[in-house]
Amino acid sequence: MILIGMMATGKSAIGTLLAEELGYEMVDLDAEIVRHEGRSIPEIFAENGEVYFRTSESDRLREVLERDRVIVATGGGAVLAAANANLMKEKGIVVALSATAEEIIARVAGDRNRPLLAGNAEENVRRILEERKDAYSFAHCTVDTTGLTEDEVCQRILTHYRVLAFKHV
Ligand SMILES: Nc1ncnc2c1ncn2[C@@H]1O[C@H](COP(=O)(O)OP(=O)(O)O)[C@@H](O)[C@H]1O
Ligand SMILES: O=C(O)C1=C[C@@H](OP(=O)(O)O)[C@@H](O)[C@H](O)C1
Ligand SMILES: [Mg+2]
């Protein structure tokens, strides 16, 4: 299963819960990039820029999608390259998470690990949401996480997943 969605919709947090529930391995694409590069996401952006980060992200995505029984929590921009989105659709069940701008802004308050939000986080969240308004719609299903606890989101995804996995075989 592959989780996509805007920053702070809960992909990394919910991926961990889903992996426990399903007995799958949790793979966080950002963590794979950090491990491979030996430096943090803000450092990669600052030292080599976004284009370099996106190349590294696509390379790691291709690797992790070769594994079985994994939950892959992607970064919010991993879907922007059409080749990545196509590969996700081909390799697994794609679940999109969403949340309102207000909820995302509240969740990222004080977080310094997302370079694209540096400066005016509120303005940046609203702009990126607009830029990406159709970017996540290729998913097999979407769960709006606004006002739900992480456990509630996890249970909703599992309900969708059981139906989708049944059809997928
Ligand atoms: N359903 C939720 N309700 C409240 N807070 C959440 C929820 N899902 C995630 N969070 C919190 O929001 C922040 C961002 O979540 P994270 O999993 O890192 O999102 P993503 O990987 O999509 O960027 C974390 O502090 C996380 O604990
Ligand atoms: O949306 C994006 O372009 C990004 C999202 C981040 O991951 P999360 O979605 O897990 O925050 C991380 O990959 C990087 O900061 C860029
Ligand atoms: Mg994440």
User: What is this model's ipTM?
Assistant: 0.99
CB 84 within 8 Å of CB 78: yes
| The CATH classification of domain 2-168, taken from the options 3.30.470.20, 3.40.50.300, 3.40.50.1820, 3.40.50.1980 | 3.40.50.300
* Apex 146 CA angle, 141 and 152, nearest 5: 70
146 phi, psi to nearest 5 deg: -60, 125
**pLDDT for res 86:** 98
Within 8 A by CB and 6+ apart from 22, the residues are: 1, 69, 71, 158, 161
User: Distance (Å, rounded) from C-alpha 110 to C-alpha 40?
Assistant: 17
**pLDDT for res 149:** 98
User: Distance (Å, rounded) from C-alpha 67 to C-alpha 81?
Assistant: 21
The response to whether residue 150 sits with its C-beta less than 6 Å from ligand 1 reads yes
Ligand (nearest to CA of 8): 1
**How many A from CA of 10 to the centre of ligand 3?**
7
The response to whether residue 98 sits with its C-beta less than 6 Å from ligand 1 reads no
- List the chain residues with pLDDT less than 50: none
**pLDDT for res 169:** 61
